[in-house]
Amino acid sequence: MVWLGVDLGDARVGLALSDPELTLAHPAGNIRVYGDSFQALDDVIGVIEDESVERVVVGLPLQLDGTEGKSAKKARRWAANLARRMQDYIDAGECAVAQVPDIVLLDERLTTVSAHRQLHEAQVSGRRHRPVVDQQSAVVILQSALDGNEWTEDGERTIG
């Protein structure tokens, strides 16, 4: 089982993948979108197919007071479009997966701040942050989702 983390941005969409045990998230690259994150949908579907992704965790950029602004509404539309486009491909027999993975939205407030801090701690110079901060933000989003799961007494992971 693999999960995919997605950080939507205006210039790039950052991606992260989990390990099969759902314990660690790692960077999986950026998709250049030139101001329109919806351009990344087909590339993300390709990653879902290639990696057999069972859950997609999309960052939901809530405002600091917890309300939804324009960016959060855009993230909701993006996630709905991802599900719809995948279902269309599946129905047309053009998709390597049998069903649309679970697509969840996760509060991503301050993930970019956390990503910059992690890059700084990893001694990545400030000017090198911009090309990798989106995928590092996706790592933070995905790791938050992975850490939010619970283990049963039998050692099985409960996917919540």
Extents of the domains making up the chain: 2-158
d(CA 44, CA 97): 13
Tell me the whole-structure pTM to 2 decimals. Answer: 0.83
Tokens of 134: 């989106």
d(CA 148, CA 18): 14
pLDDT in tens, 26-59: 999 999 999 899 999 999 999 999 999 999 999 9
Lowest mean pLDDT: which of 43-47, 83-87, 137-141, 151-155? Answer: 151-155
Q: Model confidence at 142, in pLDDT bands (50, 70, 90)?
A: very high
- Rounded (to 5) percent helix, strand, coil in the chain: 45, 25, 30
If you ran DSSP here, which 8-state letter would residue 156 be given? P
Tokens of 67: 């309300």
| Predicted local distance difference test score (pLDDT) of residue 74 | 95
If you ran DSSP here, which 8-state letter would residue 148 be given? T
Residues 6+ apart with CB under 8 A from 45: 82, 85, 86, 89, 95
Going by CATH, does the domain composed of 2-158 fall within 3.30.420.140? yes
pLDDT in tens, 79-113: 999 999 999 999 999 999 999 999 999 988 655 55
